[in-house]
Structure formats: C-alpha cells, structure tokens
Chains A and B, each alone.
Chain A
Amino acid sequence: MAQSIAKEFTKGLWAEIPPFRLVLGLCPTLAVTKSVENGIGMGIATTFVLVFSNLLISLLRNVIPSKVRIACFVVIIATFVTIVELLMQAYTYELFLKLGIFIPLIVVNCIVLGRAEAFAGKNTPILSVADGLGMGIGFTLALASLGTVREILGNGTLTIWGGTPIFEMGANFMPFKFMIEAPGAFIGLGLMLCMMNLIGKK
C-alpha cells in the first residue's frame, strides 16, 4: 500500500510531470510565468484544486452515473476553484490581481479534468490524493522553473514574495525584454521541452 502511494505521488514529479511530459494545461503555463512568484502562486492554487477535487471525485466515484460524469466533475472542480478564488481574494490580494482571469480559468485547465477522468474516477481516495498532490507539485515545479528562466533573462532579477530581489544580474546585463512577452513564453517552453527530451532519452 505504502509503496503504491509513493509510486502515484512520484510519477507526477518526473515520469509524467505536467506540462512537459503530459502536454496539458499550457495556457496558465505560458501566461503566468512572467515571474517565479506568479508561477509558484498559480502552481499552489492548482495543487489545492487538484487534491480536493481528486479526493471528492474518488469518494463519489460509485455514486456518479458514468453518462453524466463529466458534468459532475466540472461542477465539483468549479466549486473548489471558487473556494480558491475567494481565499486568494481575502489573503493574497496582490497575487489575486496579478493572476487575474487565470484563477477562474483553473476550471478549464485540462490537467485537473484529465486527472479526474483518468485517475480519481477509478481509484481509492488515498491514492487519488497522492496522485493529485504529486501532479500539483510537479506542475508547480515546472511553472517555477520556467518562471525563473523568463524572469532572469527578461528582467535580470529573481524576486520571491515581494521585497528585494534574491538574485540580480550585474549592471552590464541588458534584459531580453522579449522573454517576458508572449513570444518568449512560447520559445522558452519549447526549448525546455527540448531539454526534457534530451535528458529523458535512454
């Protein structure tokens, strides 16, 4: 039992890490990774939704009729997204403003619905929570790493939770402004996928 929990948890961290191995949930990946801070915030919000929707869906998996399951899943996910939205509005208002419409859009993040359909609908609650947590942390790591690359190249700094930057490029560094614009997002993610392929090839 403990072994299989560990297996479901760790597969989200490397073997099936979204969005690199599972090419899902690209929109938030591209949109919010202008800085590490936004990336981590988005990752944590998505993790919260993933864990709780996985838990509830797997508890209800024998009650939900299979014909209307997608509609039921969407309502459950939307409920947790609303909770996250209200929580962020109350406690992390600045981040809430920065992420904007991408918080309600967690509803249509394919990773969340994908895990509900592919995993939580068929497995026990404990395994589903492990799966959701692993996928969520993997997604957070991916967003944070893309955010780090884009922020350092595009802005020359690295800032976490406001305050002073924890890392700064020298004064002679000219920021690549395009890295924090749309093209940089696409090209950055494309190159990271390429690196993942290079490392992953046996």
Chain B
Amino acid sequence: MGDLFVLAISCIFINNILLAQYLGNCPFLGTSKKMETAVGMGMAVIFVLVMAGSLTWIVNEYLLKALDVVYLQTVSFILVIASLVQFVEMFLKKSIPALYAGLGIFLPLITTNCAVMGVCLINIKEEYTFIEALVTSFAYAAGFALALILFAGIRERILLARVPKPLQDTSIGLITAGMIAMTFMSFKGMV
C-alpha cells in the first residue's frame, strides 16, 4: 500500500507528465487560456486515461503477448484509445448529458493527446502490475490536471500584463511553463 502511495506521489509531482516528461504539451498550451476549459480538459483526461491505461494493459498482456505479436503495440494501442474515446463520448451523450455538456468538446481532442498514449506505453515499459498501472494512470492524469489548472490561472493573469509584442501568446506561455517546470524540479528530492 505504501509503495503505491509513493508511486502515485512521484507520478503527480516528481515525474509530472507535462513538466518533466514533456507529454501532452499541445493541449497544455491550447486549452489553458481560460480556467473553465482547463478544468474541463483536466477532468476529461483523468476520465479517459484511467480507462485507457487499464484497457491497454489488458490488451498487451492477454492479447499481444499471448499471440506473440508485440510489434503491433503501436497500432493496437492507438486503435484502443481512439475507439475508447468514441465510445465514452457516445455513452456520456446518451446517459449522463450533464457530464457530456462539460467534457464534450474535449473528448475528441484526447485521441491525439500524447499524454494518454505515452502513459499507456510507460506502463508497459516499466512492467507495472495491473494495480500499479491503474494507480500510475490516475496519478499521471491528476498531475496533468494539476499542472494545466495552475498554468491556466497564471495565463489569465498574463492577459492583464503588458507583454512585449514578439513575446506575446505562445512564446510567453512557453516561458511561463518553463518557470513552473523549474518549481516542479524542486520536488525531486522528495521521495
């Protein structure tokens, strides 16, 4: 139990998916201009990543390894993620319209979010057990949401500041992200 807790903490803070592993940066810059969209995207990623992480683990263990076709990993994982996203979208639309209204537009974007695919691949590469894979998937997604929401908060403030012209928009966004990454580096000695 203690091990799992340490694993979760290290995934959220020390190996933060956005700021230390460089995954999922396109939605990080794309959806962080407003707090609401950042929260929506963060929640959608947590939702999908936990499911994708466990599903791809099962596919890898009981289908690819059993049939000895591990070289199909990339193709099968992207198909699992794409169909999962599609399925989740249809399910939410039908049965939980309120949640769909909140997450709806972010769901299709998640297919090309490399954080989802990246975490699935990390789980396999590190040879985690099913429970560990479940915990890391959740923790990485939570780390993603945390960094995204923090960043959106700062970016809303930057809108009010007078930024020099060539630095505007993405450029200042990246530099800000670099500074947040620096603060996250100081978590390194924690575990």
Contacts and interface: CB of A to CB of B under 8 A. Distances in A.
**Are A and B part of the same complex?**
yes
Given A182-B19, A183-B182, A27 B25 contact: yes
Contact of B82 (A74, A86, A105, A183): A74
A178 interface: yes
B112 A113 contact: yes
Interface residues of B, number: 45
A124 interface: no
27 contacts: A23-B26, A23-B170, A24-B26, A26-B25, A27-B24, A27-B25, A70-B82, A70-B111, A75-B78, A78-B74, A79-B75, A82-B71, A101-B118, A101-B121, A101-B122, A101-B125, A105-B114, A108-B78, A108-B111, A108-B113, A109-B114, A110-B26, A182-B19, A182-B184, A184-B178, A186-B178, A194-B167
Contacts of A75: 75, 78-79
Nearest to B74: A104
Contacts of B78: 74-75, 78, 107-108
B174 A105 contact: no
Nearest to A108: B114
Given A86-B71, A186-B174, 8 more contacts: A27-B24, A71-B79, A81-B74, A100-B125, A105-B118, A107-B78, A182-B22, A187-B175
Interface of B: 19-26, 29, 71-75, 77-79, 82, 111-114, 116-118, 121-122, 125, 165-168, 170-175, 177-179, 181-182, 184-185
A108 B178 contact: no
Interface residues of A, number: 43
